[in-house]
Structure 1
Amino acid sequence: MTTRGEDPASRGVTVMRVVHLLPLLCSLIEAKIDRQKVVQAFNPRRNASSPETPLQVGNGNFAFGADITGLQTFSPFATMSTWGWHNFSLPTTPGQTQIEDYHGTEWWTHGRLVQYNMANPSNNDIADWLRENPHRLNLGTIGFSFSDSSNTTVTEDMLSNKKQILDMWTGVIRSSFTYKNHTVKVETWADPSLDSVAVSVESALLSSGALSIFFDFPYPTNDKFGAPFVGVFNQTDLHKTSLSTPGGGETNKATIHHDLTSTQYDLSLEWDVATGGSGAIKPPTDGSHRYVLSTSGTDTLRFTANFAPSAPESVPELDGVVAASREWWPAYWNNGAFVDLTGASDANATELHRRIIQSQYLVAVNSASDYPPQESGLVNNGWFGKFHMEMILWHTLQFARWNNHALLARSLPRTYTHLLPTSLNRASTQGYAGARWGKMTDPSAIDAPGEINTLLIWQQPHPMYFAELAYRHAPTPQTLADWDAVLTATADFMASYAFLNETTGVYDLGPPMYPVSENTNPNATVNPTFELAYWRFGLDVAIAWKSRQNASVPEAWTTVRDNLAPLPIIDGTYPVYQDIPNMWTANTTTVQDHPAMAGIFGLLPPPASGPPLNRPALEETAARIWALWDLDESFGWDFPMLAMNSLRLGDANRAVDYLLHPTFQFDDAGYPVGGTRVPTPYFPSSSSLLLAVAMMAGGWDGEEGPHFPSEWDVLVEGFVPGL
């Protein structure tokens, strides 16, 4: 027996407590989760800086990463934003000095030449520039400067009594440590809506001048991965900074302007000290870009640092930032859906619960942005800081499933609307109708060149999934209108892309193409299982979208949908793609990378049209993945996708096995470990974990309600069934 709670938005919510006594029996008791108690039970605590991850405060569009001092004193973790990007100069290679000099490569595609966005020997330099630019910036570092009479460089090991806690309920990092027998207490906050970090410091070291605050500015690099730190501090001659203070420096305000030639922005500061004290900021004298804010006659310092493309008229005071954070974070925790596993005595439940709560905090800080997040969020840089269109779903779909629709609405559908003109042009240039979404891009809409980038197709139906959940949440004419242009252009391309096989009489997908796994021969890959199922799903939604508006459905949509190639079957299983050789052969690429065939029943609902899925094939495929797939080399969303597949197959325990698989790791603060394939953090792990847990908590159409292991005592609030 299963049940689901009601939407908690009304605050006066009835929650169903699910106590599984037997696999087929549970009792229901009305209850109310003490959400604050649950959240704070998993507050991250540290006694030393992590070498890979900070503790963060932020708001989705801005984040500040702190080491053990509450600032960026010893570990130059990043301060990152949605707007902070930089371009290096264009190449000087003759014939490759401007973007228009790039023309890609033509490949034969079903009897015609199609221009793909991949480099050729004649334009490698401009292709590299397009891939690497723009890249996301580390806006600056803020840390403690220790004054030592012996000129000794102070290290973290020289501090004692180091304690740090991130209070996720209010969004504050509280840090304390001892230096030279003096205690230093620090609170670090971020404004929920501005790119501002606010800090309070208490220590007698401030009064003596032994402790001050530095502000430093790194120079960007064109590294594909900038982890754990972003930018370098030893190329000071390549950029400029300047200080301005109103009233000749007699006030408690200052602005530092950072000039990177192609990018310029301001750090605006405002500080206050106790009565009788004073504070002043001084520019560097050693050729660096390190500015120092020093105090005297005070044991307290409070300051706010605001980063912006241009200095605002005013900087929020610390008290205002604190009040806003104390209001925003409890509202976030209270208004969304919630899971309480504290009643389950199983250690697996406790660990899963930790990951759930800490992931909820981290996705709000790193992924709730105006554009889709990059894989590493606002912690460091991966793939030059750009976002991936195929990852939008894994990053942000969970916001809808956890009843945080407003956070999802920050980026969607606006991202698709913003990228629609270039996507229409991409399809047209290649001879297709509609809009072909790119893979790796940024707010400038530059499409990063690459063979995989240009031949990947599974990102195309994503708008349909988002739109369908949006309509479930708000089944209104406005929702239909908001998504109609995007869905129409997407479906037009999907119908145009499918190729009529004159021999079989069905529409094929590919070649050339890369499936989800990205590890097959693109010229031999045809009719991949997941992409075929997703194509049908996308066209089904597009057709329903027109019907809801009493609008005509383009004939091409129904023709292609009704005549799509059937899902391939090999040896009673769903393979990577049609006629793939050596499927299920150990130690081959056929059982490596993303096991996307599990997504046809995990991520996707049963098909609304065409033949039903083959249940025995689904079960046999799941069994072979568990037995034969190279899970030690899998990463990220592989495990939650497999967990969702297990849930639909009725095996909640196997779902937990996947979510707690030894390869699927999260560190002490909840950051998803990248492993051997990608750097840490890899946030698709966090968001897909939440997506899978939402499925466990809310169920899906026809199987509504919780689907946790039978022996677990679980409380859930605010979930609705998924597709």
Structure 2
Amino acid sequence: MRSQHTAIDRQSLVRRHNVHQQSLDPRSPVSVGNGEFCFTLDLTGMQSMPGRYPVGARSELPPGTLLGTQSQWGWHAVPADGEYSLAGSTVTYDSPRGPVPYVDMVGDIVDGRETDTSRAETWLRANPHRLDLGRIGFSLPDRDNPDIQAADIVDPRQILDLWTGTATSTFALSGHPAHVTTACHPEQDLLGFRIESAALDQGLAVTLAFPYGSEAWHNAADWDQPAAHSTRVAEAEPQRWVIQRDLDGSGYQVAITGTGLVVEQTGRHEVLIRAEPGQEVLDFAVHFVSAGQGDCLPRGTGGISGIGKPATPEPAAAPAAATAAEAGTAVIDASRQGWATFWKSGAAVDLSGTADPRALEVERRTVLSQYLTAINCSGSLPPQETGLVCNSWRGRFHLEMHWWHAAHFATWNRTALLLPALRWYATVMDSGRQTAKDQGFDGVRWPKQVGPDGRESPSPIGTFLIWQQPHPIHLAELAYRAEPSRELLAEFAEVVFATADFMASFAHPTARGFELGPPLVPAQESYESVRGTASNPTFELAYWQWALRLASAWRERLGLPPREDWEAVAAGMVPPKVMDGTYAAIDVEPFTIRTDHPSMLCALGVLPQTGLVDPAIMRATLREVLADWDWDSTWGWDYPVLAMTAARLDDPEAAVDALLLDAGKNLILPNGHNRQTDSLPLYLPGNGGLLAAVALMAAGWDDGPERSAPGFPADWDVAWEGLVRSP
């Protein structure tokens, strides 16, 4: 086995997993982006055929599309019909401390369908929602049906070059060869296109079309309400046109830059870009700019290079790089430089020396997951589960999933990509503190399903989850381990300490020790129906103990006196329930339901060894899960959980098998997407979880085996560099 110090040819490693496509695969479009902004494209290098890339209906909703243009700041809210508040969904539950109010849901969710919900609950669950900022695609405006059809595209070939973040698409259209290069600027919401084709002189054009916002579960664009929003070319000058967009108090601008262009508004919400007569090259940039008003939020910090972006809205003027004669080429060049910097930084894992055929697939998934999490999960907000590709849960993000999206940035030595979204927690502390106070707890109780404002959503599940509570402590600790500094400790101390305050007060003392719940729903959401009686989930017990001890360590590092209440709760947590030699999911009936996440495994996998977990019992639990679990009901991050638990239990063969387990939710498509269902065509927690598992398996963990790559089989040739050891 090679040493971790072996130099890796990173360019070869990355490029051998470039995405090549020669036919339209509706499940597998590629994207370009930078963590704050993302553009998903079809085989034309644009969004010319959105109808061919549908997202299947969920709860009988109209279909959406994967070909989105989304940003961290681009949000919208439909005007409310009245004064909606969470009070109408609040239900009082009995708890060991007495009656406690919880935001619940008068309606219900059955097989993903929201039933009997009031308009207030629907609005509160759906607003604000992430907005599709616009569709950019080829058109043939001089024919009766200007839309491009799949039959119009002959002999397509597309390559997403991961090393440069650029997509090149070649095809024939109207009898003419076409070559399209697409890229996103690494630090700005700026797309670059270079189109080379004689068809440009024969009528081929580019259309920008703009939708209204949608309250649908998966669809970020509503094309059926043209009167509800406005689009106008607000400014025009040589080489630059600015489009003003207004939606219910939200606003943004779109600047088109380039020479040799003819730009005109051809419809209420359509703008056409043509090449001047005689030209066979169209080189232009499209810059999306937040107006910093309403629900379209100002830009934060983020981007693949980790360089901070301004917290105030950018001016409408196009950036200097895009005012040159070849505006699109300038963006493409910036992408090439930015992505090369990304891949040369951080960590790398090379499995090419391993004869085992599984190694190449693990490596492919690992490289593609780095690209996808960089463009979708490294921005200034915690990501939605489908990132910036398309909506799920209306684009609202789930804080219990934040660890799965982003923890790996620290272990892969790219902490700068973790910090922007981690800083978001400080912006919603007031509302989280009020939630805790209303329920009689100290500190801050973090919400579950939210938009940028941090306002909770009505739900019979989400508001009862507790496993998102320790996440900010865990993420901050990973950041500190990767880049230890007093400045980082000071920056996140308030978030860490307020989180610990809530956790310590939530755990209630009994004759047995400190216990959790009821009410609650564990990470394994199969217990929703018993949320009023569920208590002491195995994973959450261990997480509570470990995270409270981390918070105590932060106080010690900062020279602050210890908190005896935190330490007492951590020392006194009750042990998890053991039945027939294995860990149960919760300690009351039904004890263990064999569907959804086998989350008890997280207690020694995601977490290191704690005093609450017996490795021998966890080993038996892992065997039982592998032998008899309903894999169809699992989710993409469950397989990295299996791998991390197996690795920590010194079973590397089982760890690799788990990463590649042949199950529907563990499918990784040619573009790297972890497909779950028709309504969840990608699932980034699966990609992020894979990266966390591979880092642990390669670099090891505290107090683990000293051999190189302890989580991989002994006969594997694992070369790695730059990884940070896991806790």
TM-score scaled to structure 1, two decimals? Answer: 0.89
Are residue 192 (structure 1) and residue 186 (structure 2) matched?
A: yes
Taking a change above 3 Å as real, the CA distance of residues 151 and 522 of structure 1, as seen in their structure-2 partners, is closer
| Residue of 201, 217, 220 corresponding to 2:210 | 217
Deviation, 1:350, is 1.1
CA deviation vs aligned residue, 1:288-323 (integer Å, no higher than 9, x gap): 535444431211111100111235222442343223
Which 4+ stretches in 1 moved above 6 angstroms? Answer: none
Tell me by how many angstroms 1:206 deviates: 1.2
Amino acid at match of 2:316: P
Distance (Å, rounded) in 1 between the aligned partners of 2:283 and 2:689: 38
Deviation of 1:613 (Å): 2.6
Structure 2 residue aligned with 1:508: 515
Tell me, in whole angstroms, the C-alpha distance in 2 between the residues paired with 1:493 and 1:223. Answer: 34
Q: C-alpha separation between the residues in 1 aligned to 2:691 and 2:73?
A: 27
Aligned residue runs from structure 1 range 167-246, under 5 A: 167-208=161-202, 210-226=203-219, 230-246=220-236
Query: Out of 12, 17, 23, which is 1:42 matched to?
Result: 17
Q: Which has the larger radius of gyration?
A: 1
Change (3 A) 1:497 1:260: same
* 1:516 match: secondary structure: coil
Which letter does structure 1 place at the counterpart of 2:675? Answer: V
1:255 corresponds to which residue?
242
1:393-417 Cα shifts (integer Å, max 9, x gaps): 11100000100011111222x1221
Match of 1:517 among 518, 521, 524: 524
Find the partner of 1:119 among 105, 114, 123: 105
Q: By how many angstroms is 1:632 displaced?
A: 2.8
Match of 1:79 in 2: 69
Mapped to 2, the partners of 1:620 and 1:696 lie a distance apart of 21
| 1:208-232 residue CA offsets vs partner (Å, 9 max, x unmatched) | 3x21111001222211223xxx313
Write the distance in 1 (CA, Å) between the matches of 2:628 and 2:47.
44
Q: Quick one: which amino acid aligns to residue 547 of structure 1?
A: E
1:489-510: CA deviation from partner (whole Å, max 9, x where unpaired): 1111111111122xx3411100
Q: 1:582 to 1:564 in 2, by over 3 A?
A: closer
Name the CA distance, whole Å, in 2 between partners of 1:288 and 1:548: 56
**CA contact 1:572–1:620 (8 Å) conserved in 2:** yes
CA deviations 1:646-680 (Å, max 9, x no partner) are: 0011111111111111220111111111137x611
Confirm or deny: 8 A CA contact 2:4 2:720 kept in the other structure.
no
**What corresponds to 1:305 in structure 2?**
286
* Alignment RMSD: 2.0
Which residue of structure 2 lines up, in the alignment, with residue 587 of structure 1?
Answer: none
Instruction: State the identity %.
Output: 36
CA contact (8 A) 1:269 1:306 kept: yes
For structure 1, which segment, 627-636 or 679-688, has the greater mean C-alpha deviation from structure 2 after superposition?
627-636
Any conservation in 2 of the 1:283–1:292 contact (CA below 8 Å)?
Answer: no
Among 681, 691, 714, the alignment partner of 1:710 is 714
Q: Provide Cα deviations, 1:33-70, integer angstroms capped at 9, x if missing partner.
A: 11101111110011233323421110000001110000
* Structure 2 alignment gaps of length 5 or more: 51-64, 108-115, 292-314
Given that residues 511 and 522 in structure 1 are in contact (C-alpha distance below 8 angstroms), is that contact kept between their aligned partners in structure 2? yes
In the alignment, what sits opposite 2:500?
A: 491
Q: Give the one of 522, 539, 545 matched to 1:536.
A: 545
Among 416, 436, 445, the residue aligned to 1:436: 445
The answer to whether the 8 A contact 1:54-1:67 is kept is yes
Name 2:654's counterpart in structure 1: 654
Q: In terms of mean alpha carbon deviation, does 438-447 or 289-298 score higher?
A: 289-298
Is 1:683 paired with 2:658? no
Counterpart contact for 1:236–1:289, Cα < 8 Å: no
> By how many angstroms is 1:351 displaced?
1.2
Q: How many equivalent pairs are there?
A: 668
Superposed counterparts of 1:540-619, under 5 Å: 540-581=549-590, 583=592, 590-607=593-610, 611=611, 613-619=613-619
Please state whether the residue corresponding to 2:442 is helix, strand or coil. coil
In the TM superposition, what are the counterparts of 1:39-188 in structure 2 within 5 Å?
39-75=14-50, 77-92=67-82, 97-99=83-85, 102=88, 104-110=90-96, 112-120=98-106, 124-147=118-141, 154-188=148-182
Alpha-carbon distance in 2 for matches of 1:307, 1:282: 18
Q: Distance in 2 between matches of 1:386 and 1:255?
A: 29
**Contact 1:101/1:126 (8 A) holds in 2:** no
CA gap 1:458/1:149 in 2 versus in 1, 3 angstroms: closer
Separation (CA, whole Å) in 2 of partners of 1:103 and 1:552: 41
Residue pair 1:53, 1:379 contacting (<8 A) in 2 also: no
Q: Which amino acid in the other structure matches residue 35 of structure 1?
A: R
**The residue matched to 1:306 in structure 2 has which SS?**
strand
How many angstroms apart in 2 are the aligned matches of 1:641 and 1:119? Answer: 30
Alpha-carbon distance change, 617 to 441 in structure 1, aligned in 2, over 3 angstroms: same
Gaps of 5+ in 1: 1-17, 20-27, 274-278, 584-589
What's the secondary structure of 1:31's corresponding residue? Answer: coil
Q: Does 1:373 align with 2:377?
A: no
Query: 2:263 is matched with which residue: 265, 281, 298?
Result: 281
CA deviation after TM superposition for structure 1 residue 700, in Å:
0.5
